[in-house]
Amino acid sequence: MADKIIKKIGVFTSGGDAPGMNAAIRSVVRTASYHDLHIFGIQRGYHGMIEGDIDRLERKDVGNIIHRGGTMLKTARSKEFMTKEGRQQAYENLMAYEIEGLVAIGGNGTYMGANVFFEEFGIPIVGLPGTIDNDIFGTDFSIGFDTSVNTAIDAVDKIRDTADSHNRLFFIEVMGRHSGYIALYTGIGSGAENIILPETKKSIDLLIQQLKMEGRRKKLFNLIIVAEGNKNGGAMEISKQVNEALGEDFESRVAIIGHLQRGGSPTGFDRVLASRLGNSAVLGLLEGRKNVAAGLIAGQVVFTDLKDAVSRKNSLDNQLVNLAEMLAM
Ligand code: F6P
């Protein structure tokens, strides 16, 4: 028997916000409206689903948001949705609005919630990768990553001016949770001398040896990018260890870029990515797709089973790691 045609769908953003989420919401709403679907915006992710914080969205409601960071639907990390009772309540609220399909925009936690929800209640869901971390399996790029890297590079360029003027070394910490993608791209894009990643096993002893050697060669060694999830600790901790080992003559500073990386107007790349994936999510639901995530691989939109997306990770590109090392020598 053919699947029944979906008439009402819901869209929400969940987890850490990412620049481009608004562009994705806009694309979902406008594609749905083009296909005569009723579309509902669910506020604050799974939290709002449990509380029944759900409103109709029209084409005009998503005007003037494509260029804005953050998310007009707000976001949250819901502990209640991790319980069966919470999910039951969320399902009942969706049924009260006769919502037959969902577009879930967020990172790994969002995908995990969506996967469990589909397995329990069978409501069709398409996930969209909305996170600056770029750690989602099934897409080369997640929405927000490009903007975040551009923001970080801009910050590092500014730090370079002062680092260079004082001949000081800076340890600059970037976000990314357990993924080194933001650090790797920021490091390559800003010409950093060293990048400390969660995925590679660079010890602090090795870094200290390198710094001693560079000092003897009188090479200017200004910028070290530290991924927050690396095993040696954050930029503060690493800088402390390096300073203790190299003594008083060695001068370094720490800069933590922090949540700056999550805000700001999305880049053109993120806006187009979000628009393409938002459109594909709605078309995917209309084609009868049920428990998938939309992503972009080699320039083409693809759908990946949510089960695979939640159990795997977008692993770091080793060619880029090698490139970074070669260019920093
Ligand atoms: O997942 C996005 C992210 O920005 C990570 O890079 C970071 O580790 C985390 O969220 C920070 O979360 P919060 O905003 O809750 O402090």
Q: Is the pLDDT of residue 75 over 90?
A: yes
User: pLDDT tens digits, residue range 311-320?
Assistant: 999 999 999 9
> What confidence category does residue 239 fall into, taking pLDDT thresholds of 50, 70 and 90?
very high
Q: Is the pLDDT of residue 186 over 70?
A: yes
Q: Is the pLDDT of residue 25 over 80?
A: yes
Q: Is the dihedral of CA 62, 65, 66, 71 positive or negative?
A: negative
Q: Is the pLDDT of residue 60 over 90?
A: yes
The response to whether residue 274 sits with its C-beta less than 6 Å from ligand 1 reads no
Task: Report the nearest-CA residue for atom 12 of ligand 1.
Answer: 16
Write down the catalytic residue from 133, 135, 140, 270.
133
Q: Is 133 a catalytic residue?
A: yes
Q: Is the pLDDT of residue 40 over 70?
A: yes
The response to whether residue 136 sits with its C-beta less than 6 Å from ligand 1 reads no
Q: Assign 3-class secondary structure to the chain.
A: CCCCCCCEEEEEECCCCCCCHHHHHHHHHHHHHHCCCEEEEECCHHHHHHHCCEEEECHHHHCCCCCCCCCCCCCCCCCHHHCHHHHHHHHHHHHHCCCCEEEEEECHHHHHHHHHHHHHHCCCEEEEEECCCCCECCCCCCECHHHHHHHHHHHHHHHHHHHHHHCCEEEEEECCCCCCHHHHHHHHHHCCCEEECCCCCCCHHHHHHHHHHHHHCCCCCCEEEEECCCCCCCHHHHHHHHHHHHCCCCCEEEEECHHHHHCCCCCHHHHHHHHHHHHHHHHHHHCCCCEEEEEEECCEEEEEEHHHHHHCECCCCHHHHHHHHHHHC
* pLDDT value at residue 114: 98
% of the chain surpassing 70 pLDDT: 97
The response to whether residue 177 sits with its C-beta less than 6 Å from ligand 1 reads yes
Using CB atoms within 10 Å of the CB of residue 80, give its burial: 0 to 12 exposed, 13 to 18 middle, 19+ buried: middle
Cβ neighbors of 217 (< 8 A, separation 6 or more) are none
Q: Is the pLDDT of residue 1 over 70?
A: no
* pLDDT value at residue 10: 98
Nearest to 173, CA basis, from 237, 253, 258, 252: 258
User: pLDDT tens digits, residue range 130-148?
Assistant: 999 999 999 999 999 999 9
Is-contact 163 193, C-beta < 8 A?
no
User: pLDDT tens digits, residue range 92-110?
Assistant: 999 999 999 999 999 999 9
Q: Is the pLDDT of residue 113 over 60?
A: yes
* pLDDT value at residue 202: 81
Q: How far does residue 220's CA lie from ligand 1's centre (Å)?
A: 32
pTM: 0.96
> What confidence category does residue 241 fall into, taking pLDDT thresholds of 50, 70 and 90?
very high
Which ligand 1 atom is at minimum distance from the Cα of 77? 15
Q: Is the dihedral of CA 147, 151, 157, 163 positive or negative?
A: negative
Q: How far does residue 183's CA lie from ligand 1's centre (Å)?
A: 14
Which ligand 1 atom is at minimum distance from the Cα of 261? 4
* pLDDT value at residue 217: 55
Q: How far does residue 175's CA lie from ligand 1's centre (Å)?
A: 7
* pLDDT value at residue 222: 85
Q: Which of 133, 136, 178 to mutate to test the pocket of ligand 1 (most atoms within 8 A of CB)?
A: 133
* pLDDT value at residue 220: 63
% of the chain surpassing 90 pLDDT: 88
The response to whether residue 107 sits with its C-beta less than 6 Å from ligand 1 reads yes
User: pLDDT tens digits, residue range 254-305?
Assistant: 999 999 999 999 999 999 999 999 999 999 999 999 999 999 999 999 999 9
- CA 158, CA 160: separation in Å to the nearest integer? 5
* pLDDT value at residue 216: 59
Average pLDDT, the chain: 95
User: pLDDT tens digits, residue range 195-235?
Assistant: 999 999 888 998 999 888 876 555 566 899 999 999 999 99
Structure tokens at 53: 């914080």
The response to whether residue 173 sits with its C-beta less than 6 Å from ligand 1 reads no
Q: How far does residue 70's CA lie from ligand 1's centre (Å)?
A: 13
User: pLDDT tens digits, residue range 115-130?
Assistant: 999 999 999 999 999 9
